[in-house]
Structure 1
Amino acid sequence: MKTIYKFFAIVLIINFNIGFSQNSINGRITYNVSLSIPKERIDEYEKSNKGASSDAITIWKNSKNVNSIIEFSMGKSKYYVLDELDNDLSENEIINLAKTRAGGNKVYYSENSSKSIDIFEQDCKLGECFLIKNEILDWKLLKETKKISGYTCYKAILNYKNKDIIFWYTPEIAINFGPKNFLGLPGAILEIQDGYFSFSATNIELNLKSDELSIEKPKGKLVTKDEYDKMLQKAFPEFFDEN
């Protein structure tokens, strides 16, 4: 029991220190986002869906890894997916599941105030761009550790959209930013295990020059998540069938 109390006391101290240090730390983390479905799972799906459209199998097999980036400086961050593969897609490869899960064409922006973190998600649909304010997430911190790229990382679990996602973060990089809207952990996120999808940090650059980073708040009409969901439901009712 004392060990548990000690662990959470350390986490509180780390969180306190992050509030001061992340205003001075800057850098860029590149992630490789991939989809890896076991062959036996694909075979099982094909067997149980005989006669059904093979589109799902084709999309699974054609999913390509993508790279995404988070840049951070002066208590602000911007996350986006590189579009380096877009020009290589054939007509039959309309959907890349790895890119969709990585964030697609959205841009995520966050900034720390003295009391909280503001998280915004830019999504351009319906003929204009919207800036959707996201909520802070509720993390479950664990004591389990492992090394990633030489950094000691701690395990955290997030129940997100009714499923558990595993995160590995390091307090050695004192920021509470991460991919997409996954913010609020007491350290930089270096790995995410989201079912068959994974995010893995492949390059970590710290203490960059200010002109090497571009962290501007994206433009768009400010709306809440509920307001934006209602707009999408009205525009695309076929995707929100209540039955």
Structure 2
Amino acid sequence: MKHFKTLLAAFVIFTTPLMAQDSTQGKVNYIVTMNLHANLKPDQLQYKDALPEFIDREIVFLFKGKHGLIKSIETASEGSEVEVKVKIGNEDGVTYVDMDAKKNLQLINVDGKQFLHKGDTKKVEDVKEVETGETKNILGYACKKVISKNGKDKTTYWYTTTLPILGGAFGIMSGKGLILELESPLFSFKAKSLQFEKIADADVLPPKGVKEAE
């Protein structure tokens, strides 16, 4: 009996880490920094001095197999005389990611009815991407650096191919791997944590019966 207990204890010790390493499902928590001043429209510039230049918020990317879901966060700027609501991601709060089809579906409400709106993930011909050859570790994962240019706009991001995941915060679909860090003139984000855990199919798949609209 004592020998059986010893074997059972060893089984628990050695199998628990293996069970925890199911890299096909889990979640990534990102810290997103929005440049409020850079995002203001011409008719909103009058509020520039009343707003902080940057705000930091969190966004969550759930993934399971080749499907994912991005939870947007709505917040109000603090410490300013003008209240401005800032929406991160889809304004209705949910964006579904189909990694195989390389497309995003935003759940939107129109006149009380729900629709799935296909996000634009097509590559723009004018965008030029260059892998610099630089690498660094983010959360223990080896990442490669890419510089993307579209005219005068420049975006830098770091991605890893260690995990079988495409995309990142905001549903950005690089087609290369999981984006863990990105910098652009309007916003930036960086993965704060990555956990492997059980994710229900219903959490990452669009609801049945909801029509897809272009």
Which bracket does the TM-score occupy, shorter chain normalised? Answer: 0.5 to 0.7
Instruction: Provide the residue aligned with 1:57 in structure 2.
Output: 49
- The structure having more radius of gyration, on CA atoms, is 2
Tell me which protein shows more strand as a share of its residues.
2
Deviation at 1:133, TM superposition (A): 1.3
Instruction: Provide the residue aligned with 1:214 in structure 2.
Output: 203
Deviation at 1:94, TM superposition (A): 2.3
Instruction: Provide the residue aligned with 1:168 in structure 2.
Output: 158
Deviation at 1:88, TM superposition (A): 7.7
Distance of aligned partners of 1:57 and 1:162 in 2 relative to their CA distance in 1, 3 Å threshold: same
The answer on whether the counterparts of 2:31 and 2:192 sit within 8 Å (CA) in structure 1 is yes
Task: Give the 3-state SS of the residue equivalent to 1:173 in structure 2.
Answer: coil
Deviation at 1:153, TM superposition (A): 0.9
Superposed CA offset, 1:54-77 (max 9, x none): 412323x17532110110002110
Instruction: Provide the residue aligned with 2:96 in structure 1.
Output: 109
**2:134 counterpart of 1:118:** no
Deviation at 1:190, TM superposition (A): 0.6
- The separation in 2 between residues aligned to 1:65 and 1:137, in whole angstroms, is 28
- The separation in 2 between residues aligned to 1:201 and 1:213, in whole angstroms, is 24
Distance of aligned partners of 1:88 and 1:218 in 2 relative to their CA distance in 1, 3 Å threshold: farther
**2:194 counterpart of 1:204:** yes
Q: For 2:205, give the aligned amino acid.
A: E
Superposed CA offset, 1:177-221 (max 9, x none): 222231143221111111152111111112x12359822315754
- The separation in 2 between residues aligned to 1:111 and 1:198, in whole angstroms, is 23
Q: Once structures 1 and 2 are overlaid, which stretch shifts more, 128-137 or 62-71?
A: 128-137
The Cα RMSD (Å) is: 3.7
Q: For 1:147, give the aligned amino acid.
A: N
Note the 1:85-164 alignment, pairs <5 A.
Answer: 85=75, 92-96=82-86, 99-100=87-88, 102-113=89-100, 116-125=101-110, 127-138=112-123, 140-142=129-131, 143-159=133-149, 163-164=153-154
Task: Give the 3-state SS of the residue equivalent to 1:64 in structure 2.
Answer: strand
Q: Normalising by structure 1, what TM-score?
A: 0.60
Distance of aligned partners of 1:36 and 1:147 in 2 relative to their CA distance in 1, 3 Å threshold: farther
- The separation in 2 between residues aligned to 1:63 and 1:157, in whole angstroms, is 23
- The separation in 2 between residues aligned to 1:189 and 1:106, in whole angstroms, is 21
- The separation in 1 between residues aligned to 2:184 and 2:77, in whole angstroms, is 27
Deviation at 1:141, TM superposition (A): 4.6
Counterpart among 163, 172, 184 of residue 194 in structure 1? 184
Task: Give the 3-state SS of the residue equivalent to 1:130 in structure 2.
Answer: strand
Count of matched residue positions in the alignment of Structure 1 and Structure 2? 182
Gaps of at least 5 residues in structure 1 are 1-22, 42-51, 225-243
Percent identity over paired residues:
23
The answer on whether the counterparts of 1:192 and 1:198 sit within 8 Å (CA) in structure 2 is yes
Instruction: Provide the residue aligned with 1:29 in structure 2.
Output: 28
Q: For 1:134, give the aligned amino acid.
A: G
Q: Normalising by structure 2, what TM-score?
A: 0.67
Distance of aligned partners of 1:127 and 1:154 in 2 relative to their CA distance in 1, 3 Å threshold: same
Distance of aligned partners of 1:164 and 1:105 in 2 relative to their CA distance in 1, 3 Å threshold: farther
**2:158 counterpart of 1:181:** no
Tell me which protein shows more helix as a share of its residues.
1
- The separation in 2 between residues aligned to 1:133 and 1:103, in whole angstroms, is 11
